[in-house]
Chain A
């Protein structure tokens, strides 16, 4: 009987250990495959040139248009998300601090909002675009991606703000500051690491999302100059090039995927590093 128990223990420890380590293996496998395939076709031209004539038949050029377009869209969307999301997160933690129940309900709704898939945001962005009489453009893309990343922004920032001790908040109010001053001068500073994480997370999500910009941002070989011009995006560049029957173009899709992966890796690891760095100086 006792032996049986020990065998069962052993087996399940091995299974669960295997499951945990397999995740590391899967991640390394995915990144290795993307890099090995991508670095073959990756050249300086890929990141410094826009598509030239005949690019989609294997001609000269690169995906600079898509890189710049993606950066524009995700920076624009992150800025909007900060303007809308940061005050909302602060409101949740300053004005509503006494209403525990309401706070929990709001967090619950925000979590549910986070789960809405990006294709739904994309479709809604498209309806909104038609309603406002716009064309597929940089601006429409920015608005749609902003809708997508705002809940992420609020919830991530809120996660850190909610851990700030109540005493700090009370001390600030006791010294005679208004609630706005408490929010922006005390809680914002104390929760700055969370703010950085929220920005990078929103930015990363914005740059990698394809389904939301598919309808709204359009696609072009030029670098957009105005808000009403269409903009190419990196995920869509990968998607479209991969659909091509010409091997050179497919190779470039893999190279574009490697570029996108590098950007995402820098953002994810940077977010961890910066969050650690800025939470060091916090009051304990």
Chain B
């Protein structure tokens, strides 16, 4: 009996370690897998050329990723500009000003917003944002637009990032000791002043990290952006024109990638690029968040 229990313990312990190590090695395995696939591409081009060149003609064997990286950056910056202020103020309201009841209502709201699949956001974008941009916003800025544009992509993406950033900001603000705020209030500061000078200043690294992680999330989002962004290489810097972000490039061309030589390597390189950029951002900012939580 005793013997059997020890054997079971050994086997299960072994399985637990194996799963743990496998999960932790996953980014490395994914990176290596994608690198092996992208390998043929490096024989003719240097990595720097691939990233900085703008010449994209797969049939001639020329792969310049810059237009797509720029498209991704452009959409991401727009989404950040819309989402960041809303998240910051909503998080301040929920952690400092609001009643308990509103917080109770907000948690399921954030949950559902975070849980909605990106394709649903895409459908909503096509139904609401695209017409809004083409009929209403573009005329204000004196341009014409089909609506399928960088701007529309940015709006849809910002809504998708809000629950993600908001959750982290709420956690960050909750780690600020109540005593600090009370000290400010007892010195005669108004509520808002104590938020401005104490809460925000105290959680500065956390706020930056939450924003950084939100940007990383926006950078890798695929389907929703692809549905509203127009998917043609940017010809100007006008945000009301179509763009072509990196994830959309991968998702859109999977059908033809086996028919043109090196095309599959190029797309796997794009995936590898996404992985490296997003993992790097995540590792840096997660580090700050973990540090603030430990304090």
Per-residue contact bits, chain A 242-275, to B (CB 8 Å; 1 contact, 0 not): 1000000000011001001100110111011000
Known: A19-B86, A113-B26. A6 touches B109 (CB 8 A): no
Cβ contacts under 8 Å, A201 to chain B = 115
Q: Are A124 and B117 in contact (CB under 8 A)?
A: no
Interface residues on B, range: 35 or more
| A to B contact number (C-beta, < 8 Å) | 270
C-alpha gap A13/B222 in the complex (Å): 36
Q: Are A180 and B13 in contact (CB under 8 A)?
A: yes
Chain B residues near A46 (CB-CB < 8 A): none
CB of A84 within 8 A of CB of B23, answer yes
Contact between B33 and A128, CB atoms less than 8 A apart: yes
Complex partner residue of A20 from B27, B94, B286, CB under 8 angstroms: B94
Q: Point out which of A120, A183, A260 has the most chain B C-beta atoms below 10 A from its C-beta.
A: A120
Please judge, given known A-B contacts A19-B93, A181-B9, whether A261 and B120 are in contact too, CB under 8 Å: yes
Tell me if A208 is interfacial: C-beta within 8 Å of chain B: yes
A184 to B12, CA, bound (A): 10
Residue from the list A88, A124, A178 in contact with B34, Cβ < 8 A: A124
In chain B, what residue has the closest Cβ to A239? B119
Question: Given the interface contacts A88-B23, A116-B279, A208-B115, does A104 sit within 8 Å of B294 by beta carbon?
Answer: yes
Q: In the complex, how many angstroms separate the beta carbon of A97 from the nearest chain B beta carbon?
A: 13
Interface string of A176-196 (1 = CB under 8 A from B): 001111011000000000000
Interface SS of A by simple majority: helix
* Most chain B beta-carbon contacts within 10 A, residue among A116, A118, A214, A239: A116
Does B60 reach chain A (CB closer than 8 Å)? Answer: no
Given that A115-B278, A235-B119 are known contacts, is A17 also in contact with B97, CB under 8 Å in the complex? Answer: yes
Closest A residue to B92 using CB positions: A16
Chain A residues touching B, range: 35 or more
Check B290–A107 contact: CB distance below 8 A. yes
Chain A CB within 8 A of B221 CB? yes
Q: Which residue of B lies closest to A236 (CB)?
A: B119
Contact A120:B275 (CB < 8 A) given known A181-B5, A211-B247: yes
A37–B213 CB distance below 8 A: no
Interface contact B278-A117, CB-CB below 8 Å = yes
Q: Once the chains bind, are A272 and B108 in contact (CB under 8 Å)?
A: yes
CA distance A90 to B20 in the complex (A): 10
Please state if B117 and A235 are interface contacts (CB–CB under 8 Å). Answer: yes
- Give the chain A neighbours of B49 by CB distance below 8 A: none
Q: Cβ of B27 and Cβ of A179 under 8 Å apart? A: no
Which chain B residues in 99-121 approach chain A with CB under 8 Å? Answer: 102, 105-106, 108-113, 115-121
- Judge if B193 is at the interface, Cβ distance under 8 Å: yes
